[in-house]
């Protein structure tokens, strides 16, 4: 199967700082990537859809200025948590589908990033 | 809001028994996908069933889809301790893949 690499796997940062998480599709091109957030023992909540070369589409209730998404190439999307607070501590996971987007195709997930804000 | 709802939320069975998890969804879908997640890790794709399919098999996995009831089930036969994980159904719409709450499956040796 295709490989999606997410970096870093874990990060600890101080309140008020910003953290950037990278999501790369290693062996395929992805026009669209998705960012999810997961709290302990809960499901994945879709935060935003990242489209290469255009603005991300955010889900209702997700602050655009808080969670900056950049999808500058067909293999890389980044999520920047700005002015992080302890309540932003969570597990962030990205996924990608192949390009051109084919219906009824599986999504490939990164290994996730554990963010802890202290 | 989440598209899918799963039950049970937690399931604990003995090794060798079969495990069944259910997923219900609200709106129309193109396909439904089942994923597995080990604690603190990413999701691993298990099986995809299209909206025009009713049943699909992959090894010890059997998935059914009933679009009239907007529900799906995942059956794991002859369970093993290594099957212990959380299982999520993902409902694929026009573009987004949205997940249910998941079932935490524990296989006891």
Q: What is the pLDDT of residues A79-114, one digit of tens each?
A: 999 999 999 999 999 999 876 555 667 889 999 999
Instruction: Write out chain A residues lying below 8 Å of B44, CB-based.
Output: 109
Q: Does the distance separating the beta carbons of A103 and B31 come in below 8 Å?
A: yes
Instruction: Write out chain B residues lying below 8 Å of A104, CB-based.
Output: 30-31, 48, 50, 92
B residues 49-108 closer than 8 Å to A (CB)? 50, 88, 90, 92, 95-102, 104
3-state SS string over A5-60?
A: EEECCEEEECCCCCEEEEEEECCCCCCEEEEEEECCCCCEEEEEEEECCCCCEECC
DSSP letter at B108 equals E
Measure in Å the smallest separation between the Cα of A116 and chain B Cα atoms.
13
Residue pLDDT tens, chain B, 109 long: 446 688 899 999 999 999 999 999 998 899 999 999 998 888 999 999 999 999 999 999 999 999 999 999 999 999 999 999 999 999 988 778 889 889 999 999 9
Q: What is the pLDDT of residues B62-80, one digit of tens each?
A: 999 999 999 999 999 999 9
């Amino acid at each position: 199967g295709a490989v999606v690499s997410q970096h870093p796997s874990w990060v600890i940062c101080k309140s008020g700082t910003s953290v950037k998480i990278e999501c790369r599709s290693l062996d395929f091109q992805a026009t669209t990537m998705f960012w999810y957030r997961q709290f302990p023992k809960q499901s994945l909540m879709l935060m935003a859809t990242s489209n290469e070369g255009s603005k991300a589409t955010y889900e209702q209730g997700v602050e655009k200025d808080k969670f900056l998404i950049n999808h500058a190439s067909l293999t890389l999307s980044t999520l920047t948590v700005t002015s992080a607070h302890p309540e932003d501590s969570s597990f962030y996971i990205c996924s990608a589908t192949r390009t051109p987007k084919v219906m009824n195709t599986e999504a490939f997930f990164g290994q996730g990033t554990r963010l802890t804000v202290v | 809001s989440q598209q899918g709802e799963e039950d049970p939320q937690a399931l604990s069975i003995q090794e060798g028994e079969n495990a069944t998890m259910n997923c219900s969804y609200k709106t129309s879908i193109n396909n439904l996908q089942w994923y597995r997640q080990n604690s603190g890790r990413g999701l691993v794709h298990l099986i995809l069933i299209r909206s025009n399919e009713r049943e699909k098999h992959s090894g010890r996995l059997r998935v059914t889809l009933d679009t009239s009831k907007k529900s799906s089930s995942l059956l794991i036969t002859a369970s093993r301790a290594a099957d212990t994980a959380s299982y999520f159904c993902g409902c694929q719409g026009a573009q987004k893949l949205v997940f249910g709450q998941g079932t935490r499956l524990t296989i006891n040796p």
